[in-house]
A and B are shown apart, each in its own frame.
Chain A
């Protein structure tokens, strides 16, 4: 079974440009999460989807970040316009709904390493 996949694995963009990250969760996982690790800091939560609905977006840093999960399958995270401080590794994770799944472990994708120059 395929794990959580993220695309691209690396992205280097100039300040002011737009970047869109994509996450394909494990099939059947209703929960999808975005996290970010910036240099020297801990991994921090950005937002949580349950199917296509935003359950919690309290971790989104500002309105330059827009996440979508149309149809409740894959998700995209767009940064527009990108700033230098947005550089870091963006992880996506998915898990089963605890109301329907026995194993609610969160599985992570390999991350997208974003560098804004």
Chain B
């Protein structure tokens, strides 16, 4: 079983739609969680950190449920430029290695 599991998609949505991605992790010792975005043939880039209290950054909302070992990302009012692969990432402690999910591909269509 993978340590971080994601639905690979693709999720095909029209512009303006709301889309949600989910992720589960198996290592209960994981302390920190992130969503990274990766464009085709590019490097992963940090989109946002994920906190138990939930956090929002513009159109993006992330949520962590430690009891269920479940992480989510909600994207509102999807833009064409949101098309990318979204990577769910867990970390043991600050500075420790990152454990990646396989990524969820999002395609936003006009």
Contact = CB atoms under 8 A, between A and B. Distances in A.
Interface residue tally of chain A, by bracket? 20 to 34
Nearest to B5: A42
A33 B66 CA distance: 27
Interface stretch (B14-22, B57-65, B74-82, B92-100): B92-100
Interface residue tally of chain B, by bracket? 10 to 19
A44 B100 contact: yes
A61 to B, nearest CB: 15
A70 interface: no
A48 B100 contact: no
Contacts of A43: 44, 87, 100
B83 to A, nearest CB: 19
B46 A105 contact: yes
A34 B102 CA distance: 17
B2 interface: yes
Interface of B: 2, 4, 42-46, 87, 93-103
